[in-house]
Amino acid sequence: MPTFIKAGFWEKTDKAFKGWLNLDLQFLKASNSSTSIADSGDITISSIKQTLTTSATAIDVDINYSGDSSIMELILNATSSVLTFPAGTLCVADGVASGDNTLTLSGVSGDKYLIGIINIGGNYSVVSRNFGQ
């Protein structure tokens, strides 16, 4: 049931009255936007949700985001790319651990990857999945 507000009143209802603001919808709109990252050999993760279309075969990734997790949608315009994260990051690509801080993506040009970055106690874990085209 959505939460509505009008002039200092909070109310949970199925349908709002005229002039009431649906706070749940506003929150979804604010948190569902993504930031585009410029294609480069060096990128910075700085928000909860980002997109990157790249043909780079090697990318150094810096994490400058204070939240617990971030998602990146990456479209690969090459057949492979290696992303290098900060030292100590654990990386898993399509169920296979790299053993270090590198995430190796390989597939067909145009493949879409979802990359999750999780911060647990100051240590990052990165997992990716190729969803094809």
Check residue 19 and report its DSSP letter. Answer: T
pLDDT tens, 102-131?
Answer: 999 999 999 999 999 999 888 999 999 999
Query: What global pTM score does this model have?
Result: 0.75
Distance set, CA 9 to CA 12, 18, 22, 45 (Å): 10, 14, 12, 38
Query: Residue written as tokens 């399509």?
Result: 94
Residue 62's DSSP bridge partners are 44
| Domain locations in the chain as residue ranges | 1-32, 34-130
Q: Single out the residue of 7, 2, 47 nearest to residue 26, CA to CA.
A: 2
Phi, psi angles (nearest 5°) of residue 98? -85, -25
Q: Give the mean model confidence (pLDDT) for residues 82-105.
A: 94
Please report the sign of the dihedral spanned by the C-alpha atoms of residue 26, residue 32, residue 37, residue 42.
positive
Percentage of the chain modeled with pLDDT above 90: 62
